Amino acid sequence: MHENPIQFLHARQTRKDVTDFRTGDTVRVHWKVREGDKERVQPFEGVVIRKKKGQTHATFTVRKMSYGVGVERIFPLHSPRYEKIELLTKGDVNRNRLFYLRGLRGRASRVDAQEELLEGEAAVGTAPGEAPAAKAEPPHEPAKKTATAEAPEAPKAPKAAPAAKTPAAKKEPKAK
């Protein structure tokens, strides 16, 4: 028998195929949904705004915008109910919890994506560990002056100040 039954249960319930992702990453969670006697997979795509640690109790929260309404869902990390977690983009954030995204709207609520140099994008013909050479650009030639001299541009006239608004006559309350 095992020395500690709790460690045995944790080892048995922990998933081995967990995708490595962080807070700020955009993920797509393929969650299994049971409707009657049928089971289907429903993807939920959004930004990870929180990741809570704990062996089998670890969870992560995903936030997405659905028809202008923010939807958050908490998923157990080691649950058998999801099929897979796809990592779509890696976010460039400096915080562990991104609850401030709840108050932002539109483009302000977007998380910056990390720019990584993948192995396939490395320059061809360089040895491993050697930095890729800078791209050679054709030298720029200064614009040649033509025989006809152009007149220098006249300075622009200053903009006229907006017309001063006259104060509106104040309405006096009616006498009773």
pLDDT tens readout for residues 22-44: 888 889 999 999 999 999 999 99
Backbone φ, ψ for residue 175 (5° rounding)? -80, 140
Are the C-beta atoms of 78 and 51 separated by less than 8 Å? no
Give dist(CA 27, CA 44) in Å, integer: 8
The string of pLDDT tens digits covering residues 103-113 is 877 777 777 77
Any idea which residue has 């915008």 for tokens?
65
Residue 81 lies in a domain: yes
Residue 98 lies in a domain: yes
Give the pLDDT mean for 108-126.
Answer: 60
Backbone φ, ψ for residue 39 (5° rounding)? -130, 135
pTM here is 0.58
Number of domains in the chain: 1
User: What is the span of the domain harbouring residue 87?
Assistant: 18-104
| Cα 32 to Cα 80, 150, 164, 168, distances in angstroms | 9, 72, 66, 66
Residue 9 lies in a domain: no
Give dist(CA 60, CA 100) in Å, integer: 16
The residue among 34 and 171 whose pLDDT is bigger is 34
Give the pLDDT mean for 150-157.
Answer: 61
Residue 159 lies in a domain: no
Residue 113 lies in a domain: no
| Cα 165 to Cα 27, 157, 158, 162, 168, distances in angstroms | 55, 23, 21, 9, 9
Residue 95 lies in a domain: yes
Give dist(CA 145, CA 116) in Å, integer: 44
Give dist(CA 158, CA 118) in Å, integer: 52
The residue among 60 and 2 whose pLDDT is bigger is 60
CATH code of the domain containing 47: 2.30.30.790
Residue 119 lies in a domain: no
Residue partners of 149: CB distance under 8 A and separation at least 6: none
SS3 content of the chain, % helix, strand, coil (to 5): 10, 30, 60
Query: What value does the CA radius of gyration of the chain take, rounded to a whole number of Å?
Result: 30
Residue 71 lies in a domain: yes
